[in-house]
Amino acid sequence: MLANLKALRTAQGLSQRALADFVKVSQQSINQYENRDTEPDIAVLTRIADYFGVSIDYLVGHDPAAGELIPTNLTDAELRLILNFRQLDDDQQLSMNLLVMQMTKDNKRNAKPQE
């Protein structure tokens, strides 16, 4: 069920124990989720998705956008980025996604509140 859990965890250099501590489950549970021996309940699934800053859909390997066409309102730079991204292997794409998610989090954290 958790198709992307191990890749997300290892990309961030986390041990199963460290992730388990954050989401309040045992290390054995994380191991079982990664090996697809058992599935987490929705509360644990939500905490894992929140920790990595991804959707539950992404975490479980469901990609609702698969097969969608590229919108026509993209700038040339955005289109080049997408086309280059598609040429990366799965691990490289995951790394890029994690980098962009972290940068987005940082931008939100550093944004000035609007008055």
Q: How confident is the model at residue 12 (pLDDT cuts 50, 70, 90)?
A: confident
Q: How is the chain split into domains, by residue range? A: 5-59, 76-110
pLDDT at position 2: 83
For 57-66, how does the pLDDT look when each residue is reduced to its tens digit (9 = 90+)?
Answer: 888 887 655 4
Q: Distance between alpha carbon 93 and the CA centroid of its chain, in Å? A: 11
Q: Which has the higher per-residue pLDDT, 53 or 29?
A: 29
* Cβ contact 9:16 at 8 Å: yes
Residues 90-99: pLDDT tens digits? 899 999 999 9
Nearby residues of 107 by Cβ (< 8 Å), 6 or more positions away:
none
For range 70-99, the mean pLDDT: 80
Instruction: Decide yes or no: CATH 1.10.260.40 for domain 5-59.
Output: yes
48 near 20, Cβ under 8 Å? no
User: What's the mean pLDDT when you consider all of the chain?
Assistant: 84
